[in-house]
Amino acid sequence: VAVNPLHASPPARTLVRRGAEAELVADKLIGRAVLQKRRLPKAYRHPDLDARLRASRTRAEANALVAARAAGVPVPLLYDADVPQATLTLEAVDGQTLREALDVGAGADGSALLRTLGEILGRLHQAGLVHGDLTTGNVLVRASADGKPGGLVLIDFGLAESTPDPEARGVDLHLLEEALEATRADGHALHAAFLDGYRSACTGHAAAITRLEAIRSRGRYR
C-alpha cells in the first residue's frame, strides 16, 4: 500500500546519546535539524531537590550559551530553554568532535585547530566566563563542503560560570591539556599551539597560565 507522504507520521525522534547527566535527541524545528538536550532525573535525589537542580542547571547553561554568543564565542544557536522540563533546544551542528577530527588526522591542521580554540577560549575568559569542562569532546568542528575542517563550536556549558577568577581559568587550560596529553602523542605541541592562541585573545593570560602551572605541579605530587 502506497503511503501518502502528507499523511505519513512524522519521522521518529532519534536518541543521539544518553550520558550520565543528559540525553540528546535529534528532532526538527521549522525544517531545521535541532537537538534536544534534556537533563535526566536522578532517582537517588529527593524529587523536589532533583527538579530544582535540573531546572537551575538548565537555566545556567542557557544563560552561559547566550552570554558566550554575545561575546563572539561560537556556540550552537539556542532555540528554546524549557526550564521546568530541563530541556534545551539547540542547533544540531553538522560535524564531528575535535577529538574525532584530530584522530582522523587533520595532520598539520591540528595545530591550527588548537590555536583557533585558544583564541575562542581567550574570548570567553575575556568576557568573564569560564567553560568548566573543556575537553576535546566538548568542541565541535563543523563539516565543510571542501573537506577541510570548518569552524569550531564550543558546546556543553553545563558547568560554565561567570567569574574572573584566574584559578577557574587555569582549570580550563589544565583540563584541555590533560585531555590532549591523554589521547595524543603530539598533545604537548597541540597544547602549546592552543596557548599561543589563548595569549593573543585574553589580556589576563599571564595570571591564568601561572595558575595552570601551579595546578600542574600539584597534580605531579598528588
Q: Would you tell me which residues interact with ligand ADP (CB under 6 A)?
A: 17, 19, 21-22, 24, 35, 37, 76, 90-93, 97, 137-138, 140, 155-156, 158
End-to-end CA, the chain: 68
CB of 155 to Mg ion, least distance (A): 7
Choice among 133, 165, 186, 196 that is catalytic: 133
CB of 71 to ligand ADP, least distance (A): 18
Q: Is the dihedral of CA 108, 110, 115, 116 positive or negative?
A: positive
CB of 131 to ligand ADP, least distance (A): 11
Beta bridge partners of 22: 39
Residue nearer to ligand ADP on the CB measure, 26 or 214: 26
Of 119, 93, 98, nearest to 197 by C-alpha is 119
116 sits near Mg ion (criterion: CB under 5 A): no
- Does an H or E element contain 115, and which? helix 109-126
24, interface contact from Mg ion, ligand ADP, none, CB < 5-8 Å by kind:
ligand ADP
Active site residue 133: yes
- In which residue are the cell numbers 540528546 written? 24
Q: Which residue is nearest to ligand ADP (CB)?
A: 19
23, interface contact from ligand ADP, Mg ion, none, CB < 5-8 Å by kind:
none
Asked if 163 and 130 count as a contact pair (C-beta separation under 8 A), the reply is yes
In the DSSP assignment, the letter for residue 135 is -
- Find the binder of Mg ion among 98, 138, 140, 154 (CB under 5 A): 138
156 sits near Mg ion (criterion: CB under 5 A): yes
Triad 144, 147, 153: Cα angle to 5°: 40
61 sits near Mg ion (criterion: CB under 5 A): no
Dist CA 139 CA 176 (whole Å): 11
Active site residues: 133
Residues that bind Mg ion (CB under 5 A): 138, 156
